[in-house]
Chain A
Amino acid sequence: MVQVKKLKDGSRQVILTAQQFDEITKVLTELAAKTKASTILLADISGQLITQRGNTEDINTAILSALAASDFAATSEMAKLVGEDAKFKLLFHEGEKRNVYLSNIGDNFFLVVVFDVSVTLGLVRIYTKKAIHSLLQVFEESEQSEDSSKIIDKDFSSMLGDMLDDSFK
Chain B
Amino acid sequence: MFINWALQEINLKIVYYGPGMSGKTTNLEYIHSKLDPSLTGELVTLKTKEDRTIFFDFMQIEVGRIKGKKPKFNLYTVPGQVYYASSRKIILNGVDGIVFVADSQRDRMEGNIETLLDLENNLLASGFSLETFPWVVQYNKRDLPNAESAAVLQKKLNFFNVPQFEGVAINGVGVFDTLKSVINLVIQNVQRQL
Contact = CB atoms under 8 A, between A and B. Distances in A.
Contact of B66 (A9, A148, A160): A160
Contacts of A14: 1-3
A156 B1 contact: no
A148 B4 contact: no
Contacts of B36: 167
B67 interface: yes
B41 to A, nearest CB: 6
B67 A21 contact: no
B187 A47 contact: no
Interface residues on A, range: 35 or more
Interface residues on B, range: 35 or more
Interface stretch (B20-28, B109-117, B161-169, B177-185): B177-185
A67 to B, nearest CB: 8
Interface string B69-90: 1010010100000000011011
Interface string B44-83: 1000000000011010110110110101001010000000
Interface stretch (B100-108, B122-130, B141-149, B152-160): B122-130
A152 B192 CA distance: 10
Contact of B2 (A46, A73, A149, A152): A46
A10 B193 contact: no
Given A74-B87, A148-B3, 7 more contacts: A11-B96, A13-B2, A63-B42, A74-B86, A152-B194, A164-B180, A168-B35
| 8 interchain residue pairs of minimum CB distance | A46-B94, A21-B6, A10-B128, A73-B90, A10-B127, A168-B176, A149-B194, A18-B6
Interface of A: 6-18, 21-22, 44-48, 50, 60, 62-63, 66-67, 69-70, 73-74, 77, 146, 148-149, 151-157, 159-161, 163-168
